[in-house]
């Protein structure tokens, strides 16, 4: 940080995270008619010109307040592992949904200090929902407290997941989950999935490979709402195998996943 500048409080960091998430999300919403402008197609994903523009909007909001902080976005950024303060941004989480005109997408912004997530914001413009949390504060949606559900039975639980690139294993896991959970849902946005877990609208979440920018803000929000968030395997510095739950079904859900993955 700049010499002589005080370390910002978690609330100050959260305010900037909210501003950055709103800037990215509002730019995406304002340009919704340009959602078909693709600059890269991948096997199971798509990159839009708006991804780049929305990330730039978020970066501008952050650098206006903290020009000395480092920045990592899904669409690139420069940072070091020893960064004192690192902003982690997914400008449009759920890009495929967005490109098809579905409302299940969001902008996610988190800040990590000394290796710990300090504040995070997830803004879903088409749902008119703003999820927020700090490491020592409550998880909120539009200012109202969030809390995970009290469901304790797998056969009464909704589990959120994604189909990943290892399709044989993906289908095996999906089949195992459908046999044990009440319902399995794939919504196409990891950040929103974790926010739904935080709000008590789902009981479990699992992804075989998910990236830091997808879960940085929403993982903190889920934890502050009472969720148990566990990294089952770390693929590299940016990707992991993640399990999250309301805590009450955690071991049962973990057992299903580990057995099906064996």
Q: Which residues of the chain have pLDDT under 50?
A: 1, 3-4, 43
The closest alpha carbon to 93, from 102, 104, 103, 106, belongs to 106
Domain architecture of the chain: domains with CATH: 10-143 (3.30.540.10), 154-261 (3.40.190.80)
The runs of H, that is alpha helices, within 39-189 are 49-65, 95-99, 167-180
Give the pLDDT confidence score for residue 3 in this predicted structure.
Answer: 46
pTM of the predicted model as reported, rounded to 2 decimal places = 0.93
Query: Which strands, in side-by-side order, build the sheet including 116-124?
Result: 70-73, 85-93, 106-113, 116-124, 129-134, 140-141, 144-145
Give the pLDDT confidence score for residue 224 in this predicted structure.
Answer: 99
Give the pLDDT confidence score for residue 163 in this predicted structure.
Answer: 76
> Strand 129-134 to strand 116-124: parallel, antiparallel, or no bridges (unpaired)?
antiparallel
Q: Is residue 94 exposed (0-12), middle (13-18) or buried (19+ Cβ within 10 Å)?
A: buried
For the stretch 175-194, pLDDT in tens is 999 999 999 999 999 999 99
3-state secondary structure of 70: strand
Give the pLDDT confidence score for residue 80 in this predicted structure.
Answer: 59
For the stretch 48-63, pLDDT in tens is 788 899 999 999 999 9
Give the pLDDT confidence score for residue 79 in this predicted structure.
Answer: 62
Give the pLDDT confidence score for residue 82 in this predicted structure.
Answer: 58
Scored b (16 or more CB within 10 A) or e, 216-228 reads: bbbbbbbbbbbbb
Give the pLDDT confidence score for residue 83 in this predicted structure.
Answer: 66
Phi and psi torsions of 146, nearest 5°? -110, 150
């Amino acid at each position: 940080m700049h010499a002589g500048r005080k370390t910002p409080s978690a609330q100050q960091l959260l305010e900037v995270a909210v501003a950055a998430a709103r800037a990215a999300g509002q730019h995406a919403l304002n340009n919704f008619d340009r959602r078909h402008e693709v600059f890269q197609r991948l096997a199971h994903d798509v990159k839009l010109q708006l991804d780049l523009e929305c990330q730039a909007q978020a970066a501008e909001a952050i650098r206006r307040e903290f020009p000395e902080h480092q920045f990592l976005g899904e669409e690139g950024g420069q940072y070091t592992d020893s960064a004192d303060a690192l902003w982690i941004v997914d400008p449009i989480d759920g890009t495929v949904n967005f490109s098809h005109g579905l409302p299940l997408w969001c902008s996610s912004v988190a800040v990590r200090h000394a290796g710990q997530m300090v504040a995070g914001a997830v803004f879903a413009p088409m749902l008119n929902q703003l999820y927020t949390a700090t490491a020592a504060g409550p998880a909120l949606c539009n200012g109202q407290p969030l809390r995970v559900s009290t469901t304790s039975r797998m056969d009464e639980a909704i589990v959120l997941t994604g189909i990943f690139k290892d399709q044989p294993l993906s289908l095996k896991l999906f089949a195992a989950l459908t046999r044990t959970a009440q319902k399995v849902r794939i919504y196409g946005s990891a950040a929103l999935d974790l926010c739904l877990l935080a709000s008590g609208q789902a009981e479990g979440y699992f992804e075989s490979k998910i990236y830091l920018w997808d879960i940085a803000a929403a993982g903190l929000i889920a934890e502050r709402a009472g969720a148990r968030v566990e990294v089952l395997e770390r693929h590299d510095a940016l990707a992991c195998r993640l399990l999250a739950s309301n805590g009450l079904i955690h071991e049962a859900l973990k057992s299903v996943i580990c057995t099906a993955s064996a």
